[in-house]
Amino acid sequence: MSYIDAHVHVWTDDYDRYPFGAEHNPEGANPKIFLADDILGHARPCGVERVVLVQMSYYQTDNSYMLDVMDEHPGVFSGIGVVDVGDSKPDEEMLRLAQRGVRGFRISGESAPKSWLDGEGVARMFRAGAEHRLALCPLIRPEALPALDRRCREFPDTPVIIDHLGLVGVGEGSRWEEEVEALCAMATHREVMVKVSAFYALGKGKPPYDDLSGLIQRVCEAFGPERLMWASDCPFQVQGEHTYEASVALIRDRLDFLSVAEREQILGGTAEAFFFLR
């Protein structure tokens, strides 16, 4: 089977059509551009034929560039957008973007991990997610999981896809065992999934990333492969010593606890079922 990359960012230097948000200076973009052809050039030699785009932070809540890339490559790209969670009715924008093929919405709890999901606007997002099968996709560290757990109990039918293995073990003062247990405990919520991704940023951050085997095994045992999806987090996975092939190969070749069927599920089956089969 062909694989699916469930997390890629793209942006362009066409600032007239697609200006960066006020908080972002194009001089700080690294790389300067990362286009559809760039990701496909990395992905297709590794057997990856479809990609889930994640709205790049440079554009803030203007999803125009991601949507145009999706339109230009029908059937190749799906999308995870960003809406203003502080708006009184963010669910209305979610539904508008869903009409364009967006299947998830990125949210972040890094700045206020205890209160990041408070407020009626967030509740409306969770409610819309449940009613229309649209995922909320948190970029969070483990300390934000208790607040997410509370919302998942309140809205058990809302799909949730946690980015980058919950960033377990990242940052000063991390407590690996406690963080793994907290992430795995989220498996009690039947609609919670996890992206097995961003290997360059986790653990030792050194290819071939074998030190992540124990973490991935624990998460796989808790959630099952049908709730895990591999992703590269490109373009950041293809910088320095890191390569796209190494990211794919960790799942495809190196984790002895996975069967062939389980590898294929993580490398494509889970993402296909949620992002492409509608």
DSSP collapsed to 3 states, 180-228: HHHHHHHHHCCCEEEEEECHHHCCCCCCCCHHHHHHHHHHHHHHCHHHE
CA 247 to each of CA 113, 139, 183, 243: distance values in angstroms, whole numbers, following the listed order: 29, 19, 21, 7
Tell me the pairing of strands 3-8 and 192-197.
unpaired
Per-residue pLDDT, 173: 65
CATH number for the domain including 214? 3.20.20.140
Residue found by looking up tokens 């296909």 in the block: 272
Within 8 A by CB and 6+ apart from 270, the residues are 6, 193, 225, 226, 227, 228, 229
- Tens of pLDDT along the chain (278 residues)? 799 999 999 999 999 999 999 889 999 999 999 999 999 999 999 999 999 999 999 999 999 999 999 999 999 999 999 999 988 899 999 999 999 999 999 999 777 788 899 999 999 999 999 999 999 999 999 999 999 999 999 999 999 999 999 999 887 667 889 999 999 999 999 999 999 999 999 999 999 999 999 999 999 999 999 999 999 999 999 999 999 999 999 999 999 999 999 999 999 999 999 999 87
Range of the domain at 138: 3-276
Q: Within 10 A of 64 (CB to CB), how many other CB atoms are there?
A: 12
3-state secondary structure of 250: helix
3-state secondary structure of 138: strand
Extract the tokens encoding 64. Answer: 């125009």
Residue found by looking up tokens 């492409």 in the block: 276
Per-residue pLDDT, 182: 97
Per-residue pLDDT, 237: 98
Per-residue pLDDT, 20: 97
Per-residue pLDDT, 48: 98
β strands within 32-159, DSSP E = 48-54, 77-81, 102-108, 135-139
Structurally, how many domains does the chain consist of?
1
